[in-house]
Each structure stands twice: as structure tokens, then as C-alpha cells.
Chains A and B, each alone.
Chain A
Amino acid sequence: EVPPTLDEMIFAISQI
């Protein structure tokens, strides 16, 4: 499985 992209991780952090 591919790891989450940097954009996805930044998005997740911004929501949490």
C-alpha cells in the first residue's frame, strides 16, 4: 500500500 502523501498528512494534521 502507498503511504499517505505529504498533502494528505498536512490535511489530517490541520483537522486534528
Chain B
Amino acid sequence: SKHLVLLDLLALLLVTEAKSDVAATMLRTNGSMKFFYSKNRPFTDSENKYVRTLFNYASETNRSVADRYTNLMAAIVDKCQKKIKSRISKVLRRVRELSTDRGIHSEDRLPLELVEKLKAKLGIGPEQSLKNRLISWLDYLSPAQRLKDPEFLRYAIVTAHSIGIPSDINLLIDQKLLRRIRKLGDYMGAVTQLVGEVDLLPPQVLQTLVIQEVPPPPPDRIVIEKTSVEIVEQWARNRHIEEPTETNLRIQFPSLPQPLSQQNTITRSVHCECTLITKIVDDLVQQGTSPLVTLEVGVSKSLCNLCEVFMGSVKKRYPNITIMVSTHHGKNVSGWRLPPLTPLEISREVEDHINSCIEEIRCKAT
């Protein structure tokens, strides 16, 4: 699980645009090391260059660790700034939801010894109050014009990281706020982990490290001309079973959007975890590898329902391959697509699942 956390963190570094939590990473060891990464769309040349830069900076073992951190942070702040800004905004949004003390509790109720320990960890002098110091940091984050300054972004990340590390800090900070601070600090967490992992590699492995994108087919756009109600009705009619009425469907599923006059344009893409798993499994099968293999896939996003089903089906087909992915929130997304050349039994299983979802909807409504 520690390894998966690391992979999830590394995946975060590859999310170069806000609102596109799509990166995934994969490490494989068997004497050599291969690092594969993918998004829901092919990487641009500049993004691929950025990934190489990250690894080059991380592996400059002749430089001091501090220098490597600085170089990495500069590259990340430059390339991921939209996402970083959105994480800062999320911290500030929570601050605004809270009362005037901004969700920072008084340290008076904590044992003195613990307060001293926390102060030392955060570099706060004995005469200063922990609470005031945290509040002044949150206030410093607020003015929006600072978001343009890379140095400010770097500072915000580094401080958020050090605030989020001590486990006892949860006694002082509103839990939701702390979660958001920690997410901001994850960038620094990823940098320290990356440098740490690279330092563990023997030099000969470092020299032969493979870092490679696994591109999915480019996303395409399709138009859905029917409403969801029509789709469920048509599905039932086709099977000669009872059709739900629109009223029934709307009573049962109040969140169903009202039909729009215009058509729905959907972007279809192969999700990154499916692309990676397909590639690695294909490689293993071609090599004729039969011993037990564990694939750990780090993701910067939650797994969607269909990816989960896809993975379950792959696991069933290749019982000697264990696939581990850390997050799952079971969202249903539109535009999900099977990887090209998916074996028939896997695509059938995914299709069966989709049919059973529609049947469940129909049953509830009828």
C-alpha cells in the first residue's frame, strides 16, 4: 500500500492541466525498471519532455538533495500551475466556509509537550502561538493576485506539506481543511518520494531506466441524439419487456436532467488505467510469462465504475496477474470506451454489466 501511495503521488505530478485528473503511472521491477504513464488522451510533446525533465532532475545524484528539490519544484510549478491554483482555491474555499478562527483550534487544550513538538516540527519559535501562526499562513494564501507568482505557489506547497506531516496536527485543524492542505502539500510529498526512490536505485538500473508513455487512441466526439429516457425505453422495447414511462423514471431518479433541445456531444476516451493495464498484460502474455505477477497502478483520480468492471474482468481472465489500484469511488461516466483490441470475453463482460445497469434502472422504474 505504501508503494501505491507513492505511485498515486507520482501520477499527480503528471496532471498538467486543471480538471483533467487523468494521469496514471506504473512501475515494474525485475532487475530492470520500467516506468509507464498514460492519460485519457495522448501526451503532447511538451508534456513528454516535462516527464523526462522530472526524471533527469530527480536523478542528478551529483547535486545536493535540496538542489534537486528546488529544480523539481520549479518544473512542477511551471507545468502544473492550474491544478496547483485549484488546490489552493479549495483550501481557501474551506477557510471561507469556516468562522473567523478559520478552523484552527486553540492549542491550549493540548499537552504542552505535544505543542512544543509540533512547533519544533513546523519551525515555530517557543514564544509564538501555533494557532496564530497557522491563521497568518492561511491569511497569507488569500490574496488572489499572488497566484500568478511561481515563488508564492512553491512556498504554499512547501508550507502545506510541512503542516500536513505531523499526525497530531489533526487535533488543531478542521478535518476538511486539513485534508485540502494535505492535498496541496502532496506536490512536495511527491518530490521527496521521487528523489528518495531514485536514490534507492543501483546506478546500473538508473542508467537503463525506461520511461515511456503508453498513448491511448485520441479521444473522439460523438453525438447522442436520444434522451436517457428514450434509451431505456428503446432497450426494453427491443427485448419485448415492460417499458418504463418517463414519469416513472423521473419519480425513481429525480436527478435525471430535463431533455435539452440540443443534442448531447460526448467525448469518448479510453481511461488511462485501462490503457496501462492492457499494455502490460499484452506484454506479459506475449513474453509467455506465467509466474505470479503483481501490477501496481497509481492514479491521480478515482476509478470509475466501468474501469472497475474492466479490471475485474481482466483479473478473471489472467488469474496469475494481480492488479492493484488504490482508489475507487464508483462514479458512472459518459464517453467511456474499451481499449482497442480488447479480447471478446472481456468486452462481453463489460457489455453485460452495462446491460444489467439498464435493466436495474428499468426494473426500479417499472
Contact = CB atoms under 8 A, between A and B. Distances in A.
Interface of A: 1-4, 6-16
Nearest to B234: A4
B33 interface: no
A16 B361 contact: yes
A14 B264 CA distance: 13
A9 B359 CA distance: 11
Contacts of B253: 16
Size bracket of the B interface: 20 to 34
11 contacts: A3-B234, A7-B222, A7-B335, A9-B235, A10-B336, A11-B224, A13-B332, A14-B332, A15-B256, A16-B249, A16-B253
B335 to A, nearest CB: 7
Contacts of B335: 7, 10-11
A15 B222 CA distance: 16
B280 to A, nearest CB: 25
Given A3-B238, A13-B332, A13-B361, A8 B256 contact: no
B332 A7 contact: no
B224 A7 contact: yes
Contacts, number: 65
B333 A8 contact: no
B98 interface: no
**Centre residue among B228, B355, B357 by max chain A CB count within 10 A:** B228
A15 B231 CA distance: 11
A16 B234 contact: no
Contacts of B237: 1
A4 B235 contact: yes
B353 to A, nearest CB: 10
Contact of B266 (A2, A3, A11, A16): A11
